Amino acid sequence: MFNSTRARRSVAAAVGALALVASVSFAAANDEVSAGGENRSVAAVPAGFEQYLVYLSEPGEGAFEPVTYEEFLEVQADVYGRDTAAVEVFREEAVEFYAERFGLDFSSAPVGADGEQVIDGAMLVPSFVRLERNYHAQTVGGEWVPPTGWDVRDSSFNVMFTDDMVVHGTYGGAAGKEAPEGALLAFGDYNIDVDRPGNSENAPGRGGDEIVIRFFSSSLITADEDGIMTFVCDLTHPEWGSGQARGIVTPDGGIRNVLTFPASLS
């Protein structure tokens, strides 16, 4: 989510409230099965929810190498099946979202050599999370997931604030809300590389060999004085409906990310 050409050092993909991790307790309703020589565990979906997932990341060497636009386009083609025209549609969706939600207008900003678009106080940048980030779905409700998890491919068009701003849209309203320099926003897709044993092929809400979830910032992503970053992203999935991801990213880039559909039961 946050490994962009210009902003990779000041960001880290983030999502997942630890309090929620406790509330859905992994131990509750966990079974184990041996498939292909490895133990897999399945967690029940918490009562009242359509689905829940937990992602973890423990970065390895090379996790934060700069992302080039050429690499971004390769990921779009190889992982998401997007050709050049589809990537432009993806960009347009991001631009429309940022305008509506935060009042940021990138529509007339030219696209630079690195795929960036710049306006006063903010820039839109293409991003993806490298495999070396070791970003894995460790829990997917109702699925047999191995201890190594399933790879989470994370690609987005992010916004980085290059100056203090006041943002409006549905988030800030007419009065506006302050967005400090260095704050971030995200709009993109999770693509989980699914490897199922045969006995869960027909699990509901999954299609083929991947799970695709659209994410987009509910609020500003900022870091505290210790460099710990938190954020909340809204989610959509064709079967599970609307949801939310709540998470933290530590200064070393480690991620703890919890996703639920719906966002809450209240």
Q: Is residue 251 part of a domain?
A: yes
Burial of 210 (C-beta count, 10 Å sphere; 0-12/13-18/19+) = middle
Binning the chain into helix, strand and coil, the percentages to the nearest 5 are 20, 40, 45
Answer whether 42's CB lies under 8 Å from 53's CB: no
Residue 3 or residue 58, greater confidence:
58
Q: Write the pLDDT tens digit of every residue in 194-208.
A: 987 654 554 544 445
Residue 123, H or E segment: strand 122-128
- Domain-embedded: residue 48: yes
The predicted model scores a pTM of: 0.84
Q: Look up the domain containing 15 and give its range.
A: 8-261
- Using alpha carbons, select from 129, 121, 124 the residue that is nearest to residue 93: 124
Per-residue pLDDT tens over the stretch 94-132 = 999 999 999 999 999 999 999 999 999 999 999 999 999
Encoded tokens for 183: 């704050």
Within a domain: 1: no
Higher pLDDT, 28 or 35: 35
Angle at CA of residue 140, ends 138 and 143, nearest 5°: 110
Domain assignment present for residue 2? The answer is no
Can you give the length of the chain in residues? 266
Inform me whether the pLDDT recorded for 256 exceeds 90: yes
Q: Where are the alpha helices (DSSP H) in the chain?
A: 18-23, 69-80, 84-102, 169-172
Measured between alpha carbons, how far is residue 103 from residues 2, 115, 157, 204 in Å?
A: 21, 21, 16, 37
Query: DSSP assignment, residue 198?
Result: G
Q: Residue type at 129? A: V
Q: Which residue has the tokens 């994370």?
A: 154
Percent of the chain at pLDDT > 90 equals: 75
Residue 4 has pLDDT above 60, yes or no: no
Q: Is 266 within a domain?
A: no
pLDDT in tens, 36-45: 556 777 899 9
Number of domains in the chain: 1
Distance set, CA 216 to CA 107, 108, 187, 223, 232 (Å) = 18, 21, 4, 18, 9
